[in-house]
Amino acid sequence: MSVRLPLRRLVVNADDAGIDLPRNDGILEAYSSGVLTSATLLATGPACEDFARRARRAPDPAGRGALGIGVHLNLSECCPPASAQGVPGAFVSKHELWERAARSAFDPRLVETELAAQLQRVLDLGLSPTHIDGHNHVHMFPCVAEALGRLVQRFPFVAARRRSIEFPGASEPCEKSARFAALPVGRSRGAIRGPACFAGFCLEGRCSFERLIAVLEMCPAESLELMLHPGRCASDSVPYSAESEREVELAVLLDPRLGEWLASHEVQLVHYGAFTAE
């Protein structure tokens, strides 16, 4: 008999949709044949339009519900700016971006203009986003959070990745969690809702069925977002999208044992839309 866990609702989210065609292939495969429920789309990614087109007509696997699609707001080097002016000093490497954002070196009004353009682009592609988050977790920084606080008044997104900090026990301390835990928590101007817990850093570079199950068993709350980066790989893809770990994560999501484990423990697969309706 399965032990009843605190975890009742699970969002399995794939970041970086739209960065290239192999990534799109893997994400949509993980949705149609695995346990993926959600993906966040880079509005200015080279394969953004391809993902939007295919996601709109993706079949609902096993009556589980449509794929939840969020907007992966970006100020890093992987994609060009969406607005005409961009944000001076942004669109650099993620580490350089983090250092500048930590100093609040960006004008929140310009950030707001840029992110609004990215949100509008996703709407223009005929999608109805379920949530927002930040590529390289840029939404965590105060100068970006300030802009997002105003944007939730202008766009119909009321769910957001709360904090990119893993719950205690998910993994040993890591540089990313420590960096984000040190940031001040800003007040939201909107009704920002989402899963109570977040995990994903603990699986980067070492994802396996056993490790993923261990994370789910440790979750102390009723709801969790599990962040992954599945995809198919190609030698001519962008460097971080061509890493072999993309296919490892995809294989774990396609492992039939995972769906069986979730069913036996009565964990419901949902996307962020389940939280906006509350």
**Do 247 and 233 form a contact (C-beta atoms < 8 A)?**
yes
Using CA atoms, how far apart are residues 277 and 239, in angstroms rounded to an integer?
A: 38
Token code pair at residue 274: 């389940």
Report the predicted TM-score, pTM, of the whole model to 2 decimal places: 0.93
pLDDT at position 62, please?
67
Strands 68-73 and 132-134: parallel
Phi, psi of 199 (to 5 degrees): -150, 150
Give the residue, 29 or 149, on which the prediction is more confident: 29
Tokens of 240: 């971080």
Residue 202 structure tokens: 């603990």
Question: Which tens digits make up the pLDDT trace of 242-272?
Answer: 788 999 999 999 999 999 999 999 999 999 9
pLDDT of 116 higher than 80:
yes
| 16 catalytic residue (yes or no) | no
Work out the pLDDT band at 158, boundaries 50, 70, 90.
low
Q: Where exactly are the structural domains of the chain?
A: 9-276
| Per-residue pLDDT, 168 | 79
Average pLDDT of the chain to the nearest whole number? 88
Sign (positive or negative) of CA dihedral 165, 168, 169, 175: positive
pLDDT at 174 exceeding the cut of 90: no
229 pLDDT above the threshold of 70: yes
Higher pLDDT, 146 or 71: 71
Average pLDDT in the 196-204 region?
91
Domain 9-276: which topology?
TIM Barrel (3.20.20)
Higher pLDDT, 51 or 79: 51
> How far apart, in whole angstroms, are the C-alpha atoms of residue 41 and residue 113?
18
DSSP string, 64-95: --PPEEEEEE--BTTS--SSSS--TT-SB-HH
What integer pLDDT is reported at residue 152 of this predicted model? 79
Tokens describing residue 35? 């346990």
- At residue 278 the predicted structure's pLDDT band, cuts being 50, 70 and 90, is low
Please give the residue that has the higher pLDDT: either 8 or 239: 8
Mean pLDDT of 6-20: 96
Q: Is the pLDDT of residue 191 over 60?
A: no
Higher local confidence (pLDDT), 225 or 162: 225
Virtual torsion, Cα 143, 148, 149, 150, nearest 10 deg = 110
Residue 200, pLDDT > 80, answer yes
Q: Give the pLDDT band of residue 173 (cuts 50, 70, 90).
A: low
